[in-house]
Amino acid sequence: MKSKLTRQERQFCCNYVSSGNSTQAAVLAGCKEDPETWGENLLCREDIADEIARLLVIRKKTVSSMAVTGYKKLAFGGIGDAVSLLYMENPDVEKLKNMDLYCVSEIRRPKEGAMEIKFFDRLKALEKLEAGSLEDNGAVSFFEALNRGASAVNNSGSRQERTEIEYGGD
């Protein structure tokens, strides 16, 4: 087992966490010849599985934190800019860029000319916050299982030896 990953292997791990596709991750990491095999072989290594699991934990925390922040903004954010927008005749682009319209789900201006603004449901955002907002999707558990599988392969004999033992072959 290697103790330190190369730059290309670390890049593979990052790409794999983003895409979930070992071949695509290998290509993006710079593998030119047989990226499918290279990627699959890397996934069987314990150090690679450890790095992928570590990156997934970080990613999960980051995404969870972003979701909680978003729900808080929806539940408790102000709507003053959206109300101001309702009363503007022809808002210029610069004013629109500086407005906080995060809580707005839809803006329409029907043929009659009156602007309609719909907001995200604050109660649903509060319910999501109360419920913990994000349930474990099992991705980390999958990579923990992958890691255990890689360890088992590394700690046992060759594939042929294992097959012979399992099926009673000579």
What residues are paired with 116 via a beta bridge?
Answer: 108
For residue range 35-93, list pLDDT tens digits in order. Answer: 999 999 999 999 999 999 999 999 988 988 898 899 999 999 999 999 999 888 888 89
For residue range 114-161, list pLDDT tens digits in order. Answer: 889 999 999 999 988 888 744 544 445 555 666 677 666 666 654 444
Spatial distance between the Cα atoms of 24 and 16, rounded to a whole number of angstroms: 8
pTM of the full structure: 0.52
Confidence at residue 113, expressed as pLDDT on a 0 to 100 scale: 77
Asked if 12 and 36 count as a contact pair (C-beta separation under 8 A), the reply is no
What residues are paired with 106 via a beta bridge?
Answer: 118
Q: State the virtual CA torsion across 8, 14, 16, 18 in degrees, nearest 10.
A: -150
Residues with Cβ within 8 Å of 74's Cβ and at least 6 positions away in sequence, in order, are: 102, 103, 120, 122, 125
Asked if 12 and 39 count as a contact pair (C-beta separation under 8 A), the reply is yes
b/e 110-127 (16+ beta carbons within 10 angstroms → b): eeeeeeebeebeeeebee
Higher-pLDDT residue of 18 and 2 is 18
Confidence at residue 2, expressed as pLDDT on a 0 to 100 scale: 46
User: For 13-39, what is the mean pLDDT?
Assistant: 94
Residues with Cβ within 8 Å of 125's Cβ and at least 6 positions away in sequence, in order, are: 71, 72, 74, 75
Q: Max Cα separation, the chain?
A: 86
Confidence at residue 90, expressed as pLDDT on a 0 to 100 scale: 82
